Protein backbone atom coordinates (compact mmCIF):
# COMPACT_ATOMS: atom_id res chain seq x y z
CA UNK A 1 0.00 0.00 0.00
CA UNK A 2 2.86 2.42 0.71
CA UNK A 3 3.91 2.09 -2.92
CA UNK A 4 0.41 2.91 -4.15
CA UNK A 5 0.25 6.00 -1.95
CA UNK A 6 3.60 7.08 -3.43
CA UNK A 7 2.22 6.61 -6.95
CA UNK A 8 -0.89 8.63 -6.08
CA UNK A 9 1.23 11.47 -4.70
CA UNK A 10 3.50 11.37 -7.76
CA UNK A 11 0.44 11.62 -10.01
CA UNK A 12 -0.65 14.74 -8.14
CA UNK A 13 2.79 16.35 -8.14
CA UNK A 14 3.20 15.67 -11.87
CA UNK A 15 0.09 17.66 -12.80
CA UNK A 16 1.48 20.49 -14.94
CA UNK A 17 0.33 24.07 -15.17
CA UNK A 18 -2.30 24.49 -17.86
CA UNK A 19 -3.41 20.84 -17.91
CA UNK A 20 -7.16 20.28 -17.81
CA UNK A 21 -7.81 18.15 -14.75
CA UNK A 22 -11.34 16.81 -14.25
CA UNK A 23 -12.49 15.49 -10.89
CA UNK A 24 -15.22 12.81 -10.79
CA UNK A 25 -16.72 11.62 -7.51
CA UNK A 26 -19.62 9.58 -6.19
CA UNK A 27 -22.66 11.58 -5.05
CA UNK A 28 -22.70 10.28 -1.45
CA UNK A 29 -21.03 11.97 1.54
CA UNK A 30 -17.84 9.96 1.15
CA UNK A 31 -17.52 10.95 -2.50
CA UNK A 32 -18.41 14.59 -1.85
CA UNK A 33 -15.91 15.04 1.01
CA UNK A 34 -13.20 13.22 -0.97
CA UNK A 35 -13.70 15.64 -3.86
CA UNK A 36 -13.46 18.62 -1.49
CA UNK A 37 -10.20 17.29 -0.05
CA UNK A 38 -8.74 16.88 -3.55
CA UNK A 39 -9.94 20.27 -4.72
CA UNK A 40 -8.51 22.07 -1.68
CA UNK A 41 -5.37 19.94 -1.59
CA UNK A 42 -4.55 20.60 -5.23
CA UNK A 43 -5.22 24.30 -4.62
CA UNK A 44 -2.68 24.39 -1.81
CA UNK A 45 -0.13 22.87 -4.19
CA UNK A 46 -0.77 25.57 -6.75
CA UNK A 47 -2.71 23.23 -9.02
CA UNK A 48 -6.38 23.45 -9.97
CA UNK A 49 -9.39 21.37 -10.93
CA UNK A 50 -10.83 22.52 -14.26
CA UNK A 51 -14.21 20.85 -13.62
CA UNK A 52 -15.65 18.59 -10.97
CA UNK A 53 -18.56 16.20 -11.46
CA UNK A 54 -20.64 14.58 -8.73
CA UNK A 55 -22.14 11.42 -10.19
CA UNK A 56 -24.35 8.49 -9.43
CA UNK A 57 -22.63 5.15 -9.99
CA UNK A 58 -24.86 4.46 -13.00
CA UNK A 59 -23.98 7.75 -14.75
CA UNK A 60 -21.21 6.17 -16.81
CA UNK A 61 -22.20 7.84 -20.09
CA UNK A 62 -21.63 11.30 -18.64
CA UNK A 63 -18.33 10.24 -17.06
CA UNK A 64 -16.86 8.86 -20.29
CA UNK A 65 -18.23 11.72 -22.36
CA UNK A 66 -16.47 14.26 -20.13
CA UNK A 67 -13.34 12.13 -19.82
CA UNK A 68 -12.62 12.77 -23.51
CA UNK A 69 -12.35 16.51 -22.83
CA UNK A 70 -9.61 16.51 -20.17
CA UNK A 71 -5.88 15.87 -20.03
CA UNK A 72 -5.90 14.04 -16.70
CA UNK A 73 -8.63 12.82 -14.37
CA UNK A 74 -9.13 11.91 -10.74
CA UNK A 75 -11.94 9.43 -10.04
CA UNK A 76 -13.10 9.04 -6.43
CA UNK A 77 -15.34 6.40 -4.83
CA UNK A 78 -16.63 5.06 -8.15
CA UNK A 79 -16.10 1.31 -8.76
CA UNK A 80 -13.46 0.63 -11.41
CA UNK A 81 -14.40 -2.98 -12.14
CA UNK A 82 -17.77 -2.07 -13.61
CA UNK A 83 -16.26 -0.01 -16.46
CA UNK A 84 -12.75 -1.47 -16.57
CA UNK A 85 -12.52 -1.92 -20.36
CA UNK A 86 -13.70 1.63 -21.07
CA UNK A 87 -11.21 3.14 -18.63
CA UNK A 88 -8.33 1.08 -19.99
CA UNK A 89 -9.14 2.05 -23.57
CA UNK A 90 -9.54 5.77 -22.78
CA UNK A 91 -5.76 6.40 -23.01
CA UNK A 92 -6.11 9.05 -20.30
CA UNK A 93 -3.88 9.45 -17.27
CA UNK A 94 -6.24 8.68 -14.40
CA UNK A 95 -5.86 8.48 -10.63
CA UNK A 96 -8.48 6.27 -9.02
CA UNK A 97 -9.00 6.30 -5.27
CA UNK A 98 -11.52 3.65 -4.35
CA UNK A 99 -12.45 1.09 -1.71
CA UNK A 100 -14.91 -1.19 -3.48
CA UNK A 101 -14.26 -4.89 -3.95
CA UNK A 102 -11.55 -5.50 -6.54
CA UNK A 103 -10.68 -8.48 -8.71
CA UNK A 104 -7.37 -7.52 -10.30
CA UNK A 105 -4.54 -4.99 -10.17
CA UNK A 106 -4.94 -2.56 -13.07
CA UNK A 107 -2.08 -0.18 -12.29
CA UNK A 108 -0.11 0.63 -15.44
CA UNK A 109 1.78 3.54 -17.01
CA UNK A 110 -1.33 5.70 -17.32
CA UNK A 111 -3.56 4.43 -14.52
CA UNK A 112 -2.88 4.69 -10.81
CA UNK A 113 -5.40 2.69 -8.82
CA UNK A 114 -5.19 3.10 -5.04
CA UNK A 115 -7.42 0.68 -3.16
CA UNK A 116 -6.66 -0.61 0.38
CA UNK A 117 -8.14 -3.99 -0.51
CA UNK A 118 -4.94 -4.81 -2.41
CA UNK A 119 -3.23 -5.16 0.95
CA UNK A 120 -6.11 -6.95 2.66
CA UNK A 121 -9.47 -7.73 0.97
CA UNK A 122 -11.29 -7.15 4.27
CA UNK A 123 -9.84 -3.69 4.89
CA UNK A 124 -12.51 -1.00 5.02
CA UNK A 125 -11.27 2.57 4.59
CA UNK A 126 -13.61 5.15 3.04
CA UNK A 127 -12.23 7.27 0.22
CA UNK A 128 -12.39 10.45 2.34
CA UNK A 129 -9.93 8.80 4.73
CA UNK A 130 -7.66 7.67 1.87
CA UNK A 131 -7.74 11.13 0.25
CA UNK A 132 -6.75 12.75 3.54
CA UNK A 133 -3.87 10.30 3.93
CA UNK A 134 -2.64 11.08 0.44
CA UNK A 135 -2.47 14.84 1.03
CA UNK A 136 -1.23 14.62 4.62
CA UNK A 137 2.24 13.85 3.18
CA UNK A 138 2.09 16.71 0.67
CA UNK A 139 0.64 19.68 2.56
CA UNK A 140 -0.49 20.79 6.00
CA UNK A 141 -3.82 18.94 5.86
CA UNK A 142 -5.07 19.81 9.36
CA UNK A 143 -7.77 22.12 8.02
CA UNK A 144 -9.19 19.20 6.00
CA UNK A 145 -9.41 16.86 9.00
CA UNK A 146 -13.06 17.71 9.66
CA UNK A 147 -13.99 17.06 6.03
CA UNK A 148 -12.21 13.69 6.14
CA UNK A 149 -13.88 12.85 9.44
CA UNK A 150 -17.37 13.61 8.09
CA UNK A 151 -16.87 11.43 5.02
CA UNK A 152 -15.35 8.58 7.00
CA UNK A 153 -18.12 8.54 9.61
CA UNK A 154 -20.81 8.78 6.94
CA UNK A 155 -19.40 5.75 5.12
CA UNK A 156 -19.14 3.73 8.36
CA UNK A 157 -15.37 3.64 8.59
CA UNK A 158 -13.89 2.95 11.99
CA UNK A 159 -11.64 -0.03 12.78
CA UNK A 160 -9.21 0.56 9.92
CA UNK A 161 -9.27 4.36 10.33
CA UNK A 162 -8.64 4.70 14.06
CA UNK A 163 -5.78 7.18 13.66
CA UNK A 164 -8.27 9.70 12.25
CA UNK A 165 -10.34 9.47 15.46
CA UNK A 166 -7.42 9.44 17.91
CA UNK A 167 -8.43 12.70 19.62
CA UNK A 168 -12.11 11.81 20.07
CA UNK A 169 -11.80 9.19 22.83
CA UNK A 170 -14.28 6.76 21.27
CA UNK A 171 -13.97 2.98 21.45
CA UNK A 172 -16.57 1.86 18.92
CA UNK A 173 -18.39 2.97 15.80
CA UNK A 174 -21.59 3.23 17.83
CA UNK A 175 -19.92 5.67 20.25
CA UNK A 176 -18.66 7.69 17.30
CA UNK A 177 -22.19 8.24 16.01
CA UNK A 178 -23.22 9.60 19.41
CA UNK A 179 -20.60 12.37 19.33
CA UNK A 180 -21.33 15.87 18.00
CA UNK A 181 -19.56 14.83 14.81
CA UNK A 182 -21.80 11.80 14.36
CA UNK A 183 -24.94 13.86 14.93
CA UNK A 184 -23.83 16.45 12.37
CA UNK A 185 -23.17 13.67 9.84
CA UNK A 186 -26.76 12.47 10.30
CA UNK A 187 -27.99 15.96 9.46
CA UNK A 188 -25.70 16.24 6.46
CA UNK A 189 -27.05 12.93 5.15
CA UNK A 190 -30.57 14.36 5.39
CA UNK A 191 -29.49 17.56 3.65
CA UNK A 192 -28.11 15.51 0.73
CA UNK A 193 -31.54 14.02 0.15
CA UNK A 194 -33.39 17.34 0.40
CA UNK A 195 -30.91 19.79 -1.14
CA UNK A 196 -28.96 17.48 -3.43
CA UNK A 197 -25.22 16.70 -3.49
CA UNK A 198 -24.16 19.87 -5.36
CA UNK A 199 -25.56 22.20 -2.69
CA UNK A 200 -24.16 20.04 0.11
CA UNK A 201 -20.76 20.13 -1.62
CA UNK A 202 -20.92 23.95 -1.55
CA UNK A 203 -21.89 24.01 2.14
CA UNK A 204 -19.13 21.61 3.21
CA UNK A 205 -16.53 23.30 1.04
CA UNK A 206 -17.09 26.59 2.88
CA UNK A 207 -17.24 25.07 6.38
CA UNK A 208 -14.00 24.71 8.32
CA UNK A 209 -15.38 24.03 11.80
CA UNK A 210 -18.02 21.88 13.45
CA UNK A 211 -19.89 24.82 14.95
CA UNK A 212 -20.69 26.37 11.56
CA UNK A 213 -22.23 23.07 10.45
CA UNK A 214 -24.20 22.67 13.67
CA UNK A 215 -25.73 26.12 13.16
CA UNK A 216 -26.32 25.90 9.41
CA UNK A 217 -29.99 26.76 8.76
CA UNK A 218 -30.18 24.92 5.44
CA UNK A 219 -28.99 21.73 7.08
CA UNK A 220 -31.33 22.14 10.06
CA UNK A 221 -34.42 22.78 7.92
CA UNK A 222 -33.52 19.86 5.65
CA UNK A 223 -33.17 17.57 8.64
CA UNK A 224 -36.66 18.47 9.92
CA UNK A 225 -38.25 17.82 6.52
CA UNK A 226 -36.28 14.62 6.00
CA UNK A 227 -37.19 13.28 9.46
CA UNK A 228 -40.91 13.52 8.68
CA UNK A 229 -40.50 11.59 5.42
CA UNK A 230 -38.24 9.04 7.07
CA UNK A 231 -40.77 8.38 9.83
CA UNK A 232 -43.42 7.49 7.26
CA UNK A 233 -41.00 5.29 5.32
CA UNK A 234 -40.20 3.35 8.49
CA UNK A 235 -43.89 2.63 9.05
CA UNK A 236 -44.23 1.47 5.45
CA UNK A 237 -41.24 -0.83 5.85
CA UNK A 238 -42.87 -2.52 8.85
CA UNK A 239 -46.21 -2.91 7.02
CA UNK A 240 -44.59 -4.56 4.01
CA UNK A 241 -41.89 -6.57 5.78
CA UNK A 242 -41.54 -10.25 4.87
CA UNK A 243 -39.48 -12.32 7.27
CA UNK A 244 -37.65 -15.49 6.30
CA UNK A 245 -36.15 -16.61 9.59
CA UNK A 246 -34.61 -19.82 8.22
CA UNK A 247 -32.26 -17.75 6.04
CA UNK A 248 -32.00 -14.70 8.35
CA UNK A 249 -33.68 -12.44 5.79
CA UNK A 250 -36.00 -9.46 6.16
CA UNK A 251 -37.36 -8.19 2.85
CA UNK A 252 -39.54 -5.12 2.37
CA UNK A 253 -40.62 -2.57 -0.23
CA UNK A 254 -41.20 1.14 0.28
CA UNK A 255 -42.09 4.06 -1.94
CA UNK A 256 -40.77 7.55 -1.31
CA UNK A 257 -40.07 10.55 -3.49
CA UNK A 258 -36.70 11.10 -1.87
CA UNK A 259 -33.39 9.41 -2.62
CA UNK A 260 -31.34 8.27 0.34
CA UNK A 261 -34.25 7.34 2.60
CA UNK A 262 -34.27 3.63 1.73
CA UNK A 263 -30.52 3.33 2.17
CA UNK A 264 -30.64 5.08 5.55
CA UNK A 265 -33.56 2.95 6.68
CA UNK A 266 -31.84 -0.26 5.60
CA UNK A 267 -28.73 0.68 7.57
CA UNK A 268 -30.65 1.59 10.72
CA UNK A 269 -32.71 -1.60 10.76
CA UNK A 270 -29.73 -3.84 10.06
CA UNK A 271 -27.75 -2.15 12.83
CA UNK A 272 -30.55 -2.89 15.31
CA UNK A 273 -30.69 -6.51 14.07
CA UNK A 274 -27.09 -7.37 13.12
CA UNK A 275 -27.86 -11.07 12.61
CA UNK A 276 -30.38 -10.30 9.83
CA UNK A 277 -29.84 -9.63 6.15
CA UNK A 278 -32.05 -6.61 5.45
CA UNK A 279 -33.15 -5.85 1.91
CA UNK A 280 -35.16 -2.75 1.06
CA UNK A 281 -36.69 -2.39 -2.39
CA UNK A 282 -37.03 1.30 -3.20
CA UNK A 283 -39.89 2.14 -5.59
CA UNK A 284 -38.37 5.50 -6.46
CA UNK A 285 -38.12 5.15 -10.24
CA UNK A 286 -40.90 4.65 -12.80
CA UNK A 287 -39.26 1.69 -14.53
CA UNK A 288 -36.73 0.20 -12.14
CA UNK A 289 -36.53 -0.82 -8.51
CA UNK A 290 -33.48 0.19 -6.54
CA UNK A 291 -32.19 -2.31 -3.98
CA UNK A 292 -30.42 -1.64 -0.69
CA UNK A 293 -28.94 -4.52 1.27
CA UNK A 294 -27.19 -4.58 4.66
CA UNK A 295 -25.81 -7.35 6.85
CA UNK A 296 -23.74 -6.26 9.84
CA UNK A 297 -22.32 -9.69 10.66
CA UNK A 298 -20.81 -10.01 7.19
CA UNK A 299 -21.09 -13.81 6.95
CA UNK A 300 -22.48 -13.39 3.43
CA UNK A 301 -20.76 -11.01 1.00
CA UNK A 302 -23.68 -8.84 -0.08
CA UNK A 303 -21.88 -7.37 -3.09
CA UNK A 304 -21.26 -10.85 -4.49
CA UNK A 305 -24.83 -11.90 -3.69
CA UNK A 306 -26.48 -8.98 -5.50
CA UNK A 307 -24.17 -9.27 -8.47
CA UNK A 308 -25.11 -12.94 -8.93
CA UNK A 309 -28.82 -12.50 -8.20
CA UNK A 310 -29.15 -9.63 -10.67
CA UNK A 311 -27.40 -11.38 -13.51
CA UNK A 312 -29.57 -11.14 -16.67
CA UNK A 313 -32.24 -9.02 -14.91
CA UNK A 314 -30.27 -5.94 -13.81
CA UNK A 315 -27.02 -5.03 -12.12
CA UNK A 316 -25.74 -5.25 -8.58
CA UNK A 317 -22.62 -5.18 -6.42
CA UNK A 318 -20.96 -3.41 -3.53
CA UNK A 319 -19.27 -4.12 -0.25
CA UNK A 320 -19.36 -7.11 2.07
CA UNK A 321 -21.82 -5.56 4.55
CA UNK A 322 -23.51 -2.97 2.32
CA UNK A 323 -24.50 -3.35 -1.31
CA UNK A 324 -26.96 -2.14 -3.90
CA UNK A 325 -28.65 -3.12 -7.14
CA UNK A 326 -31.30 -2.13 -9.65
CA UNK A 327 -33.54 -4.07 -12.00
CA UNK A 328 -36.61 -3.69 -14.20
CA UNK A 329 -39.83 -3.82 -12.17
CA UNK A 330 -41.15 -6.81 -14.06
CA UNK A 331 -38.42 -8.95 -12.43
CA UNK A 332 -39.42 -8.34 -8.81
CA UNK A 333 -40.63 -11.90 -8.14
CA UNK A 334 -37.60 -13.38 -9.89
CA UNK A 335 -35.21 -11.19 -7.92
CA UNK A 336 -36.81 -12.20 -4.64
CA UNK A 337 -36.64 -15.88 -5.57
CA UNK A 338 -33.00 -15.51 -6.64
CA UNK A 339 -32.14 -14.06 -3.22
CA UNK A 340 -34.01 -16.83 -1.38
CA UNK A 341 -32.31 -19.55 -3.45
CA UNK A 342 -28.90 -17.97 -2.96
CA UNK A 343 -29.27 -17.80 0.80
CA UNK A 344 -30.77 -21.28 1.16
CA UNK A 345 -27.52 -22.69 -0.22
CA UNK A 346 -25.56 -20.88 2.48
CA UNK A 347 -27.67 -21.27 5.63
Residue that finishes a domain, picked among 134, 166, 198: 166
In a domain, 224, yes or no: no
* 290 bridge partner residues: 282, 326
Looking at residue 304, which CATH number applies to its domain? 3.10.310.40
In the chain, how many domains are there? 2
47/139 same-domain check: yes
> Do 14 and 156 fall within a single domain?
yes
Give domain status of residue 59, yes or no.
Answer: yes
Whether 140 and 23 map to the same domain: the answer is yes
Look at strands 111-114 and 93-97 and give their pairing.
parallel
Contact status, residue 36 vs residue 89, Cβ threshold 8 Å: no
| pLDDT value for 245 | 94
Distance from the Cα of residue 291 to its chain's centroid: 15
Give φ, ψ of 114 to 5 degrees. Answer: -100, 115
Angle at 164 between CA 162 and CA 165, to 5 degrees: 70
Is the domain of 155 the same as that of 263? no
Is residue 199 domain-resident? no
Same domain, 160 and 258: no
**What is the mean pLDDT of each successive set of 10 residues along the chain, which is 347 residues long?**
91 94 96 98 95 89 91 92 77 91 76 89 94 96 95 94 92 91 95 95 93 95 95 96 96 90 94 95 88 93 95 90 93 96 93
pLDDT confidence of residue 290 = 93
Domain assignment present for residue 147? The answer is yes
Residues 131 and 252 in one domain: no
Q: Are residues 157 and 12 in the same domain?
A: yes
Domain that holds residue 332: 236-344
Co-location of 159 and 241 in the same domain: no
In a domain, 185, yes or no: no
Task: Answer whether residue 192 is part of any domain.
Answer: no
Q: Write the DSSP string, 292-318.
A: EEE-TT-SS-HHHHHHHHTTTTEEEEE
**pTM over cut 0.75:** yes
Q: How many residues does the chain have?
A: 347
Residue 73 belongs to a domain with what CATH number? 3.90.1640.30
- Considering the domain architecture, whether residues 30 and 122 belong to the same structural domain is answered as yes
The answer to whether residue 229 is domain-embedded is no
Amino acid sequence: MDELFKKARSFILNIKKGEKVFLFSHNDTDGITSAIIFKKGLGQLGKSVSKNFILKIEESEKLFSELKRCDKAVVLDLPFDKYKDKFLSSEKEILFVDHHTIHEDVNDKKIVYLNPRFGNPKTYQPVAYLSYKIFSELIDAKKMWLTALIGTIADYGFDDCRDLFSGLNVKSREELWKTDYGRVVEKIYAAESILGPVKVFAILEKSNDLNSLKKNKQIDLSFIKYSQIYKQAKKEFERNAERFDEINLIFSKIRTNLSGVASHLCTEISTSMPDKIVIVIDDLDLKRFKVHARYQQGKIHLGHMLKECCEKIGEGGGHERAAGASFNKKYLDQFKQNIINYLKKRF
